[in-house]
Amino acid sequence: DSGVTQTPKHLITATGQRVTLRCSPRSGDLSVYWYQQSLDQGLQFLIQYYNGEERAKGNILERFSAQQFPDLHSELNLSSLELGDSALYFCASSVAEALSGYTFGSGTRLTVV
């Protein structure tokens, strides 16, 4: 157990729907990062939050949004889902900035049908 908790582990939904992925960071970590891994591909950075504030944005679609709450857990909202959004979504956390690396959750596998 890495200490980073992601729920749900698996999610199957239909095109056009909206889903919310949840991440609880490791205790004491202030930064949360979201990554997307499509089938047989590397990880793409989506967005980073630090202590409740958005810190950096990567290749995140406008249909996607995220937030970090006062208790530091984060949610990634995916709307108007398309087949191509099917992927593994990873959350990672770190104490502050992640220059020295961070801890990943086990991921949420999203399947859009």
Partner 1 sequence: AQKVTQAQTEISVVEKEDVTLDCVYETRDTTYYLFWYKQPPSGELVFLIRRNSFDEQNEISGRYSWNFQKSTSSFNFTITASQVVDSAVYFCALSDLLDSNYQLIWGAGTKLIIKP
Nearest distance in Å: CB 83, partner 1 = 20
Cα(16)–Cα(31) distance, rounded to whole angstroms?
Answer: 30
18/97 with CB nearer partner 1:
97
Residue 79 vs 95, nearer CB to partner 1: 95
- Contact status, residue 53 vs residue 47, Cβ threshold 8 Å: no
Query: Least distance (Å) from partner 1 to the CB of residue 107?
Result: 6
By beta-carbon proximity to partner 1, the closer residue of 72 and 92 is 92
Give the nearest distance from C-beta 16 to partner 1 in angstroms.
Answer: 26
Q: Which of 107, 101, 111 is nearest to 22 (CA)?
A: 107
Q: What are phi and psi of 98, to 5 degrees?
A: -100, 25
Q: Write out the residues near partner 1 by the rule CB under 8 A.
A: 33, 41-45, 48, 55-56, 58, 88, 90, 97-104, 106-107, 109
By the 8 A CB rule, do 66 and 47 touch? yes
